[in-house]
Amino acid sequence: MPQIEWVGTPNYRASRNGRKPLAIVSHITAGYYPGCLSWMQNPESQASAHYLVLRDGRILQMVKEGDTAWHAGVVNRPNWNLYDGSNPNNYTIGIEHEGMPGDGLTEAQYQSTLWLHGQLLAKYPAIKMDSDHVIGHYRIDSVNRPNCPGAKFPWAKLFADLKGDHEVDNLVIYADGDVGAALLLSFKLKCPMVHKAFAEKIQAKNKHWIGVQGTNGDGNYYYAGSDRIETAKLGL
C-alpha cells in the first residue's frame, strides 16, 4: 500500500469557500522530479496541486484536501458538465503526475494513482466513478492544456480498475458433479461459471458469488438442494 508523504507548499488558499470536493482532476507536470515539485513550491509559480504522484510510485501531498490548491483555476472552452461558472479549484482535488505528456505512466506510478483515486472515491461520496467526476485538466482548459495529462494517460484502464470491470460481479462456483446446476444458474443469472479449483484465481475477495454445493462466505449466496436440479431451483 502506498504511503503519502507530506511536503507542503505556500501556493494554496485556506478552506474552499464553503464548497466540497466534487471531482478529481488529473494533470501531467511536463517536467521531472525534483524540479516539478520545486516549481509548485515556488510562490512565483502560483501553481500547486493536492497530490503529486512520482514515477517511482511515491505520493507527495502539497495541499490539504480541505484547502484549495491552484491547479485548474484558468477555464478556457471547458468540456465538463459539472463546471458551474465558478473557480473549479474550489470543488476539485488536483493530482499531478510526474512526467511529460508523451511519457505515459510507469507501472508503479499507475498503481499509486489507482490507489489514491480509490481512497478519494471512498472518502467523498459526491465524487462518482464516471467521466464527469474523474477528469483530466484538458476538460477544463481545452485551449492551453489540451495535452494535460496527455494522450497516453490510461483512462480506460483506470476506469476499469476502479469499477472492477476486469473482475466479475457475479460468479457461479461449482464442484465436480454440479455442472448441470451450475449451467442452469449461470444461464439464469447471466454470469460466468467456474470450477471451485480455479475460483480463487478469478474471484476477488468479497465479490458476489453463487456456490453450488460449495462453501459459504460473507455476503454471498449458497445453494444446496438434495440434488443438482433442486440446487438449481433454489437459485431461480
Q: Which of 153, 31, 52 is nearest to 97 (CA)?
A: 52
Strands (E), 62-206: 68-69, 92-97, 134-136, 172-174, 193-195
Which residues are marked as active site?
96
| First-residue to last-residue Cα distance in the chain | 40
Cα→Cα distances 175→192, 209, 213, Å: 14, 14, 7
Give pTM, 2 decimals: 0.71
pLDDT of the chain along its 236 residues, tens only? 789 999 999 999 999 999 999 999 999 999 999 999 999 999 999 999 999 999 999 999 999 999 999 999 999 999 999 999 999 999 999 999 999 999 999 999 999 999 999 999 999 999 999 999 999 999 999 999 999 999 999 999 999 899 875 444 456 777 777 777 777 766 566 566 666 765 654 554 445 556 665 444 444 444 455 555 565 555 54
Domains and CATH numbers, the chain: 4-163 (3.40.80.10), 172-235 (3.40.50.12090)
